[in-house]
């Protein structure tokens, strides 16, 4: 994570709204707020189902008992026109980064509470959140207790053949949680990202900063192959990897700098060929950093030898504009776009964070061709731990786990998409009007989902137009709704 960017983006979003709150984002504690579809709403009383979250937390991802009927009647309200005939990218999923620390905290819960929480998060049905995409760190992230990799050696030793490679350190927390997740959601997509190569491969022989020595490019490619194979042996399929988390930021702990020309060299001459030789179908997604440097992934995709090995590019938004994703898509339309990380800075402001993240990421990233949206850490404790010495000290988890479980704003940000827009959904056309930021999808079961956030300063009544008819609905300022028909 780039802490200076995180601070700037978080404060900017809050200052624009005119207030910064100093209260945490809590819901009703340990109770699961997700409920199945209410049959009394569905029975001949409405054409459109509506789930709502308000910025004041008075309503949290709750189905509304309202009658929303499509009519021919015209009115003066602004209209969001949904056009399923115009299609864009397919969706891989919505979710979180399951950090080593998140897994550790979930693993501290009593067995029945842990089981209930994992079902709430990952079961892919209408009664649960349906998280469908996870990012895990390959080795430690900065939200681990301490830095580690899967091939740490005493000073002066090397292991280019990876004979000492081991994921043993993950057996206590991450692997048990991941296995339970996969059992609940067998088709969940998992992306692996390293924060650093083993220190003995690096120019500074340290977990923080430094670069990968060229003489260890082949060894590091073998490291990735071993990782994917080891996880597969545990029953966990790694769908994709990125060669380096935030490759232009060497100030985190752990971290590693990898310039665009270095990543292109690593992918085309080592990682891609190593995957091919091992028969791996794991996707290689490049960059995995801020939208202010789209020229970085463009340089790799512009390399004719690297291009065939690359599935697409991943972005964060601690700098730059979300529209940079479309800039890269337009230059390389056959390559995919992913959005793989955004933090919520603690203690946070629920209403401001809800509006900014839904508008900028759930709506903004997908309208700019992203196949997924991932919030940062799934869980932290009340003190934003665990984290390394030098890691993020104010990263608010989607969950705060202590004596119980508190659901914070990122839970609802993702829930408004993950619960309804299942993998295989396709984004369809919809217009943005009157500060009603929105994105529409056709779901795999043939339904339509429209996510709307009222980014204005006053409540708004508006229409949803589909197939020549309109439904009229309202949202208070800052509120988010998902509409299904």
SS3 50: strand
d(CA 287, CA 52): 35
Neighbours of 23 (CB within 10 A): 9
H or E segment and range at residue 397: none
* Strands 370-377 and 379-380, bridge-based pairing: unpaired
Q: Compute the residue count for the chain.
A: 485
d(CA 260, CA 321): 20
d(CA 420, CA 158): 48
d(CA 291, CA 342): 12
Single out the catalytic residue among 246, 262, 334, 375. Answer: 246
SS3 261: helix
* Strands 436-442 and 448-454, bridge-based pairing: antiparallel
- Burial state string for 273-292 with b = 16 or more CB within 10 A and e = fewer than 16: ebbeeeebebbbbbbbbbbb
SS3 109: coil
Q: Which residues pair with 463 in a beta bridge?
A: 79, 472
* Strands 133-137 and 436-442, bridge-based pairing: unpaired
* Mutual angle of helices 350-357 and 409-418, in 10-degree steps: 30
How would you list the strands of the sheet with 399-401, edge to edge? 379-380, 399-401, 405-407
304 Cβ contact list (under 8 Å, min separation 6): none
As a whole number of Å, the end-to-end CA separation of the chain is 38
Single out the catalytic residue among 120, 234, 334, 341. Answer: 341
Q: Is 341 a catalytic residue?
A: yes
* Strands 370-377 and 93-97, bridge-based pairing: parallel
- Give 352-384 as a DSSP string: HHHHHHIIIIIIHHHHTTEEEEEEEESEE-TTS
Neighbours of 160 (CB within 10 A): 14
Q: Which residue numbers are catalytic?
A: 246, 341
């Amino acid at each position: 994570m780039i802490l200076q960017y995180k601070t700037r983006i978080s404060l900017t979003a809050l200052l624009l709204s005119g207030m910064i709150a100093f209260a945490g984002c809590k819901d009703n504690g340990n109770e699961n707020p997700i409920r199945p579809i209410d049959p009394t709403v569905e029975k001949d009383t409405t054409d459109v189902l509506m789930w709502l979250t308000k910025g004041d937390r008075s309503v949290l991802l709750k189905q509304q008992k309202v009658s929303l009927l499509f009519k021919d009647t015209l009115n003066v309200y602004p209209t969001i026109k949904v056009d399923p005939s115009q299609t864009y990218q397919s969706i891989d999923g919505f979710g979180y980064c399951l950090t080593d620390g998140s897994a550790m905290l979930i693993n501290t819960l009593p067995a029945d509470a842990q089981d209930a929480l994992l079902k709430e998060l990952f079961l892919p049905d209408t009664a649960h959140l349906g998280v469908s995409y996870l990012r895990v760190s390959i080795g430690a992230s900065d939200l681990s207790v301490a830095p580690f990799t899967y091939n740490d050696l005493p000073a002066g030793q090397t292991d280019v053949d990876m004979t000492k490679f081991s994921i043993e350190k993950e057996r206590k927390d991450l692997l048990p949680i991941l296995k339970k997740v996969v059992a609940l959601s067998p088709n969940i997509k998992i992306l692996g990202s390293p924060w650093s190569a083993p220190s003995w491969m690096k120019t500074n022989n340290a977990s923080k900063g430094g670069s990968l020595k060229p003489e260890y490019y082949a060894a590091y490619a073998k490291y990735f192959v071993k990782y994917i194979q080891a996880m597969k042996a545990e029953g966990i399929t790694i769908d994709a990897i990125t060669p380096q988390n935030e490759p232009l930021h060497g100030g985190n702990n752990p971290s590693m700098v990898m310039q665009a020309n270095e990543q292109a060299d690593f992918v085309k001459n080592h990682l891609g060929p190593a995957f091919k030789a091992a028969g791996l179908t794991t996707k290689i997604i490049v960059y995995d950093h801020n939208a202010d440097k789209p020229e970085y992934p463009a340089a790799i995709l512009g390399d004719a030898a690297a291009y065939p090995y690359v599935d697409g590019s991943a972005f964060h938004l601690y700098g730059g504009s979300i529209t940079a994703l479309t800039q890269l898509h337009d230059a390389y339309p056959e390559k995919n776009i992913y959005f793989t990380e955004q933090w919520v800075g603690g203690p946070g402001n629920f209403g401001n964070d809800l509006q900014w993240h839904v508008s900028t990421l759930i709506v903004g990233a997908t309208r700019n061709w992203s196949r997924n949206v991932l919030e940062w850490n799934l869980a932290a404790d009340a003190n934003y731990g665990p984290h390394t010495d030098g890691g993020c000290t104010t990263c608010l988890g989607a969950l705060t786990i202590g004596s119980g479980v508190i659901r914070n704003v990122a839970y609802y940000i993702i829930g408004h998409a993950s619960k309804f827009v299942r993998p295989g959904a396709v984004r369809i056309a919809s217009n943005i009007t009157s500060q009603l930021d929105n994105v529409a999808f056709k779901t795999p079961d043939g339904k339509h989902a429209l996510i709307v956030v009222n980014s204005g300063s006053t409540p708004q009544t508006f229409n949803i137009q589909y197939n020549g008819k309109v439904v009229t609905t309202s949202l208070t300022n800052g509120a988010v709704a998902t509409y299904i028909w």
